[in-house]
Amino acid sequence: MLTDKMHQALNDQLQAEFFSAYLYLSMAAYFEDEGLEGMANWMTIQFQEEQTHAMKFYRYIIERGGRVELQALEKPQKDWPSPLAVFEEAFEHEKMISGRINDLAELAIAEKDHATHNMLQWFIAEQVEEEAAVDTIVNQLKMVGDQGHGLFMIDREMRGRTFVDETQGE
């Protein structure tokens, strides 16, 4: 059984995960409009991943006897000055989500909710991967700039990313 404080915090994180998906879909739409299909693909896969993360929280709340309380989502940004700016924002967003997950883990410890603390370990490890992936792209874009052959090569490489639901089999 979840404490009231943990229950509310998990519902708040559910909203944050759905907003993440919404933000990445907006980023994908930006890249589609810019003709950067590979980057659009990368962000679409990110959108799908964030949906699975949200549903992991959704299922967990229910499994622990809680009630899922869906909250309104803020309208995401739709325009950026450059591909680099998009990925820099994605990196900052992932760092913010990592902070939220860490705060949830601290709350779980304070609430003596070992089951939730254990579940959150998957998200803690996932956030390390998320931050590293986006940081790599930011650094590559900084090296090549927002124009020319380098950008074309990075975009082409991103077309190969495929969605894998890492939450399955748990």
pLDDT above 60 (res 168): yes
- Does residue 84 fall inside a structural domain? yes
The structural domain count of the chain equals 1
Instruction: State the pLDDT confidence band at 22, using cuts at 50, 70 and 90.
Output: very high
- Tell whether the torsion through CA atoms of 127, 130, 133 and 135 is positive or negative: negative
- Does residue 8 fall inside a structural domain? yes
CB burial string 99-131: b at 16+ within 10 A, e below: ebbeebbebbeebebeebbebbeebeebbeebb
Task: Report the Cα 15 to chain-centroid distance in Å.
Answer: 12
**Which domain does 136 fall in, by range?**
4-72+80-158
What's residue 63's pLDDT?
Answer: 97
- Does residue 134 fall inside a structural domain? yes
Residue range 55-59: mean pLDDT, rounded: 98
What is the distance between the alpha carbons of residues 100 and 94, in angstroms, rounded to a whole number?
10
- Does residue 95 fall inside a structural domain? yes
Which tens digit of pLDDT belongs to each residue from 63-115? 999 999 999 999 999 999 999 999 999 999 999 999 999 999 999 999 999 99
- Does residue 166 fall inside a structural domain? no
In terms of C-beta density within 10 A (0-12 exposed, 13-18 middle, 19 or more buried), how is residue 72 classed? exposed
- Does residue 169 fall inside a structural domain? no
* C-alpha distance from residue 12 to each of 26, 28, 114, 129 (Å): 21, 24, 19, 22
State both tokens at 131: 């931050």
Instruction: State the pLDDT confidence band at 169, using cuts at 50, 70 and 90.
Output: low
Q: Which amino acid is at 93?
A: H
Supply the CATH number for residue 60's domain: 1.20.1260.10
- Does residue 168 fall inside a structural domain? no
Which of 143, 141, 147 lies closest to 158 in space, CA to CA?
Answer: 141
